[in-house]
Amino acid sequence: MPTQLPYVDTHAVTVPAAPEQVWDAVTRYAEQVGFGGPSLFQRALATVPVRGFEVTDQDAGTRLVLSGRHRFSVYQLSFTLESPGNGQTTTLHATTRAAFPGVSGRLYRALVIGTGLHVIATRLMLRAIGRAGVSDGD
């Protein structure tokens, strides 16, 4: 997999929780993320790994990178955490990088990125992780 894929976008959410709580939520998400498996959807896309994503890099507490590929794309989703130092809030960033080779890849990009589905999915994912991080402090 290429080390530096083309940049797609970055989204962020500020979570009213300590960085440790948000990190725990990110790592739990990374353990669960993917499409399940193996499903008809995964076979149609030929996802590698089968679940769709795997942890390929991390700096504990600050950055976690998920990567994968399928017949239409090679992709990375990187989570980074920033805290203003007060220990009460954390900004969680999700950066997507992906390549969409060939004609079918360009069509897939138009479907997923061009329609805004990717933005919706990423924002929902960030909110879910943020909620999990907040609930860890309860």
Regarding predicted confidence, which is higher, 9 or 42? 9
Q: Give the CATH number of the domain where residue 131 resides.
A: 3.30.530.20
Residue 36 is predicted with a pLDDT of 58
Closest CA to 135 of 50, 24, 61, 7: 24
What residue numbers bound the domain in which 83 lies? 7-136
On whether residue 2 sits in a domain, the answer given is no
Which residues on neighbouring strands pair with residue 74, listed in sequence order? 69, 99
Distance separating alpha carbons of residues 62 and 81, to the nearest angstrom: 5
* Domains identified in the chain, total number: 1
Instruction: Label residue 35 exposed, middle or buried (CB < 10 Å: 0-12, 13-18, 19+).
Output: middle
* Residues ≥6 apart with Cβ < 8 Å to 19: 61, 81, 83, 87, 90
On whether residue 1 sits in a domain, the answer given is no
| pLDDT digits 0-9 by tens, 79-137 | 999 998 777 899 999 999 999 999 999 999 999 999 999 999 999 999 999 999 888 66
| pLDDT digits 0-9 by tens, 23-76 | 999 999 988 876 556 677 777 888 888 888 899 999 999 999 999 999 999 999
Kind and range of the H or E run holding 92: strand 90-99
Report pTM: 0.89
Single-letter residue type at 73? S
